Amino acid sequence: MTDLPATPVLAAGAVLWRRVDGEVLVLLVERTQHRDHSLPKGKLDPGETLPECAAREMEEETGLAIVLGAPLGHSEYRLPDGRDKVVYYWQASVDEATVAASAFAPNDEILELEWLPIADAKARCSYRHDVAIIERFEERLERGHERTFPIVALRHAKAASPFSWEGADASRTLTERGERQSRSIAPGIAAFGPERIVTSDAVRCRQTVEPLAALTGLEPKATADISQESPVDPRDALARRIGKAVRKRRGTVLCSHAPIIPEIVTAVVHATDALESERTHRASMLHTAEFTVLHVSAGDEPALVALETHCSPER
């Protein structure tokens, strides 16, 4: 028999950056046991989404409570035991108040934090795959896309079957599985620092965002405008709502139904003068409790910088 390949070890990290006297610095960590210099990262815990892992690991390793920006792709390499390790990265800006609030102290995992200019950081890195991730961030920086805000398209979690539900469709509630899904995705969405939650007024959508609202302290706005039973064409309402969010550079979560999710993605594409593509199409085809984060540049001209899709660990 042929042995099946081992499941890769998943991890998440970030290029943490800040400006000091007009110069961009990025953070490297020196690991205590290995005495190497690398980007901060850590392994995915059971039940986590990758964005949740990235935000958690940054705070645990560096003492910095950060908000994730746009993704920077991933690195992949072989561990000494023969397993593959895949590490996903995001960019994340750090302000001086956050640096001042950090309670980092050298420990068994991390010996030292070093803020370095980009060229120095690349020279100091012990591993080429970290240099490649920093170079991707450097490209973003050159295009003025180092700061972004998120527009999140979220499909509601698993709900009671419409074939056995006796009431109106909009009154269908989440199943126990759906409730677990909604709880499991909330920290991953919160990691991107949304400022507003908008949801279809259907019960299953309102229930889906309850854990996110509790975690962020945001009060969801429920509206029939983004419901699949909307009395008006939802495309017009979405164009107005998302256009306003883009103009105000305001991170927004929109929770709706399968037929409406593609319209949300399309509205973001149009608001940023991007092009519809196979990738944006795939990003709009969501299963229950999946969410797509569309990262929009917070620079002078809003542009669609990146997009990513995540699912609930509670399948």
How far is Cα 124 from Cα 7, in angstroms, rounded to an integer? Answer: 31
Both tokens assigned to 229: 């039973």
User: How many angstroms separate the first and last alpha carbons of the chain?
Assistant: 30
How far is Cα 233 from Cα 58, in angstroms, rounded to an integer? Answer: 42
Both tokens assigned to 183: 């709880």
Q: Could you read off the pLDDT tens digit of each residue along the chain, which spans 315 residues?
A: 445 567 899 999 999 999 999 999 999 999 988 889 999 999 999 999 999 999 999 999 999 999 999 999 999 999 888 899 999 999 999 999 999 999 899 999 999 999 999 999 999 999 999 999 999 999 999 999 999 999 999 999 999 999 999 999 999 999 999 999 999 999 999 999 999 999 999 999 999 999 999 999 999 999 999 999 887 788 899 999 999 999 999 999 999 999 999 999 999 999 999 999 999 999 999 999 999 999 999 998 999 999 999 999 987
Closest CA to 286 of 263, 311, 303, 307: 311
Alpha helices in the chain (DSSP H): 50-62, 96-101, 118-124, 128-142, 176-190, 203-208, 210-216, 234-247, 261-271, 278-283
